[in-house]
């Protein structure tokens, strides 16, 4: 009998969205490419996904996005990829937890509401990606910091990926 792992309770224990991974699953034509790791239910997932989605019966799955493009691998099993080690995000990134992942966030875009924002976060291929989030559960000080950065960084699409460092 095995003991189940304890639940992940801190952002440091969560997978980091946008981390570089190497795919080694059954689709051999994708073995040479680099991908970014995202939750299965993400803006990049093909088709509509909701709480009643039939994908729930598949178990733990992820979405992989190809480096430098938006080509996707959906419904990827955890055993089908290996994540790169180390921290690849800028040191001023704010860590926010969303959908069971830690996101390394740059800023929010101007506008939004007290309950929702467009959040801009870093990806390991050097892109700054954007996604609309409900921000009710996000610390108000973190949102204030990200809102203050927004006007200065609103047009940012890329960043220089720093050298790998221990996370």
How far is residue 76's CA from residue 16's CA, in Å, rounded to a whole number? 16
| Confidence band, pLDDT 50/70/90 cuts, at residue 49 | very low
pLDDT digits (tens, 9 = 90+) for 94-133: 999 988 899 999 999 987 788 889 999 999 999 999 998 8
Q: What is the distance between the alpha carbons of residues 111 and 19, in angstroms, rounded to a whole number?
A: 28
Report yes or no: 123 and 129 within 8 Å, Cβ to Cβ: yes
pLDDT at residue number 17: 94
Among residues 160, 86, 73, which one has the least CA distance to residue 125? 160
Q: Return the pLDDT at 135.
A: 81
Question: Which residue has better confidence, 4 or 16?
Answer: 16
The residues near 21 (Cβ < 8 Å, ≥ 6 apart) are: 34, 35, 36, 37, 64, 81, 82, 83, 84
d(CA 135, CA 146): 12
Which of 10-14, 37-41, 124-128 comes out lowest in average pLDDT?
10-14
pLDDT at 146 over 70: yes
CA-wise closest residue to 66 among 4, 125, 128, 16:
125
Supply the pLDDT for residue 148. 93
Looking at residue 96, its pLDDT comes to 93
- State how far Cα 59 lies from the chain centre: 19
Distance, in Å, from the CA atom of 162 to the CA atom of 119, rounded to the nearest integer, reads 21
Which pTM was predicted? 0.80
| Reported confidence tier of residue 16, pLDDT bands at 50, 70, 90 | very high
- Average pLDDT over the chain, rounded to an integer: 82
What does the pLDDT read at residue 50? 46
């Amino acid at each position: 009998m095995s003991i189940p792992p304890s639940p992940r309770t801190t952002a440091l224990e969560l997978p980091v969205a946008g981390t570089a991974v190497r795919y080694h699953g059954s689709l051999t034509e994708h073995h040479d490419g680099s991908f970014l790791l995202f939750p299965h239910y993400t803006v990049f997932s093909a088709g509509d996904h909701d709480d009643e989605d039939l994908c729930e019966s598949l178990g733990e799955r992820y979405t992989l996005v190809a480096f430098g493009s938006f080509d996707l691998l959906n419904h990827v099993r955890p055993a089908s990829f290996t994540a790169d080690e180390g921290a690849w995000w800028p040191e001023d990134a704010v860590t926010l937890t969303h959908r069971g992942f830690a996101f390394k966030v740059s800023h929010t875009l101007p506008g939004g509401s007290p309950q929702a924002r467009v959040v801009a976060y870093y990806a390991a291929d050097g892109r700054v990606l954007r996604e609309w989030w409900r921000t009710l559960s996000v610390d108000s000080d973190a949102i204030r910091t990200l809102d203050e950065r927004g006007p200065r960084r609103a047009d940012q699409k890329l960043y220089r990926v720093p050298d790998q460092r221990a996370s």
